Amino acid sequence: MENSLIEKRKNRGILLISCPDRPGIVSKVSTTLFEHDCNIIDSNQHSTDPEAGHFFLRIEFECPDLDNKKHAIEQSIELLSNTFEMKYTFNYGSDSQNLAIFVSKENHCLLELLLEWQRGDLLGDIKLVIGNHEDLREYVENVNIPFYYLPITRETKAEVEKKQLELLKEFKIDTIVLARYMQILSPTFIEHYPYQIINIHHSFLPAFIGANPYKRAYERGVKLIGATAHYVTDDLDEGPIIEQDIERVKHHHELSDLKKIGSQVERKVLLKAVKWHNSHRIIPFGNKTIVFD
């Protein structure tokens, strides 16, 4: 599906920078971009506390004929990086993110992503959906996206993950979205996609980590139901948090009510996280994230 946002952004670039904090960084970066006829259209920065002394910068710029100029721009920033000890990445509006969605049986997060994709507002292209159940095949194939059914057991886990990785490579996937995929990915799988796997956890982490959080929240008598989108790491449900939100619940709400309310929060939180990731607004830092929303 042609993405109208990609076409509009074909001469735009995004520069993300992380480095020790010191005077002159913004000035030098801005001047360097100016020297290459770049017009800065959005700039956000953040400094940690003086003791930690770290600096983060996101600059979105527009440059005529960017495809032919970006190599020279990158070389100039590379020279700056040596001076300021920068870690940096360039991303370009003409580069569409290729997404894979992993699902099980719940459909609400998948449908939210499909709807946004159909509107052309996802800044990415959903290339395939992988499910460990058949339940959601119809939703996916109705919009002409390939659906792959790969059931998984403890005994077949290694074999299935190998097949999943083969599919991801075949479709040149940049980002994996776990849209209520009720399986734990192995460290071997995760190491192929560092900070490229986004999960939605149906709980306001760090509370109720692991399985059945709504049941445990109901039994605890919580007054707030939340959801957390985070990057997947080897530590279960403890990767860097991207976005969270909550809704208030009352004493008369049953477990089924909590699940319905929670599903609405999950959809909203996951979509925000995916959009921010696709538009390169996130810089992971330790087990935290800097999110320029």
**Rounded to whole angstroms, how far apart are CA atoms 114 and 124?**
11
Residue for token digits 């609405």?
264
CA angle 21, 195, 75 (to 5 degrees): 55
**Rounded to whole angstroms, how far apart are CA atoms 140 and 179?**
13
Q: Which of 237, 245, 257, 293 is catalytic?
A: 237
Cβ atoms within 10 Å of 54's Cβ, excluding its own: 15
3-state secondary structure of 133: coil
Distance of alpha carbon 150 from the chain centroid: 23
CB-side exposure of 220: number of CA atoms within 13 Å?
14
Q: Beta strands 288-291 and 282-285: pairing type?
A: antiparallel
Element housing 97 (H / E): strand 97-103
Q: Beta strands 12-20 and 54-62: pairing type?
A: antiparallel
Annotated catalytic, 237?
yes
**Rounded to whole angstroms, how far apart are CA atoms 10 and 1?**
16
**What is the helix, strand, coil percentage profile of the chain, to 5?**
35, 30, 35
Q: How far is CA 244 from CA 6, 238, 263, in A?
A: 27, 13, 13
Q: Cβ contacts of residue 107 below 8 Å, gap of 6+?
A: 135, 136, 139
Name the residue type at position 98. Answer: N
* Residues designated as active site: 237
